[in-house]
Amino acid sequence: MENLFIQFCQTTVKQTNTVGGSFLKRGDHFQILTNGFSYVWDYANPIWVDLDSDFNVTKLPVELSNYQKVYVSVSFFDHAFIVFDWAKKYPQVNFIMGGPAVNFVDMVSDFTKKQFMIKLPSNVSITNESAESIFGLPFDINRFKIDLPDFNTPRLYHFRIGSGCYWSRCNFCIYRHENYTNFEIDPETIQNIPPGGVWLGTESLSPKSCELLTQLNYDDRRYHCFLRGDTSAYKSLQKILPMIKESSHLRFFMGIEFPSNRMLQMMGKGTDIETLIKVIHLLTDAGCKVSLSFITEWECIEKNDVEEAKNFFKMLPDESTYDSYYNPLVNWFGDVKKENFIGKLTGEQKRLNSQWQSILHKYGCLKYGISSERIKQRMLKFRELMP
CA distance 244 to 187: 16
Quote the least distance from Cβ 268 to ligand SF4, whole Å. 8
- Closer of 176 and 378 to ligand SF4 (Cβ): 176
Quote the least distance from Cβ 244 to ligand SF4, whole Å. 23
Quote the least distance from Cβ 269 to ligand SF4, whole Å. 7
Nearest to 98 by CA among 68, 67, 69, 130: 130
Quote the least distance from Cβ 270 to ligand SF4, whole Å. 7
**Beta-carbon count within 10 A of 314 CB:** 7
Contact between 330 and ligand SF4 per CB under 6 A: no
Give the torsion sign (CA, 303, 304, 309, 314).
positive
- Closer of 118 and 370 to ligand SF4 (Cβ): 370
Contact between 98 and ligand SF4 per CB under 6 A: no
Q: How big is the site for ligand SF4, counted in residues (CB under 6 A)?
A: 12
Position among 176, 262, 367, 378 found at the interface with ligand SF4 (CB under 6 A): 176
Phi, psi (degrees; rounded to nearest 5) at 62: -135, 165
Nearest to 250 by CA among 207, 221, 215, 270: 221
Contact between 295 and ligand SF4 per CB under 6 A: no
Quote the least distance from Cβ 12 to ligand SF4, whole Å. 31
CA distance 339 to 337: 7
CA distance 368 to 120: 31
Interface residues for ligand SF4 in 236-275 (CB under 6 A)?
A: 255
Quote the least distance from Cβ 168 to ligand SF4, whole Å. 5
Interface residues for ligand SF4 in 141-170 (CB under 6 A)?
A: 165, 167-170
Collapsing DSSP to helix, strand or coil, 44 comes out as: helix
Contact between 175 and ligand SF4 per CB under 6 A: yes
Interface residues for ligand SF4 in 44-83 (CB under 6 A)?
A: none
Collapsing DSSP to helix, strand or coil, 1 comes out as: coil
- Residues 6 or more apart whose CB falls under 8 angstroms from that of 108 comprise 116, 332
- Closer of 29 and 176 to ligand SF4 (Cβ): 176
What's 184's DSSP letter? P
H helix runs in 160-272, sequence order: 187-191, 231-240, 261-266
Contact between 204 and ligand SF4 per CB under 6 A: yes
Position among 64, 173, 266, 370 found at the interface with ligand SF4 (CB under 6 A): 173
CA distance 92 to 68: 7
- Closer of 169 and 350 to ligand SF4 (Cβ): 169
For 215-235, the DSSP string reads TS--TTEEEEEEE--SHHHHH
- Closer of 111 and 135 to ligand SF4 (Cβ): 111
- Closer of 81 and 326 to ligand SF4 (Cβ): 326
Can you give the binding site for ligand SF4, defined by CB under 6 A?
165, 167-170, 173, 175-176, 203-204, 228, 255
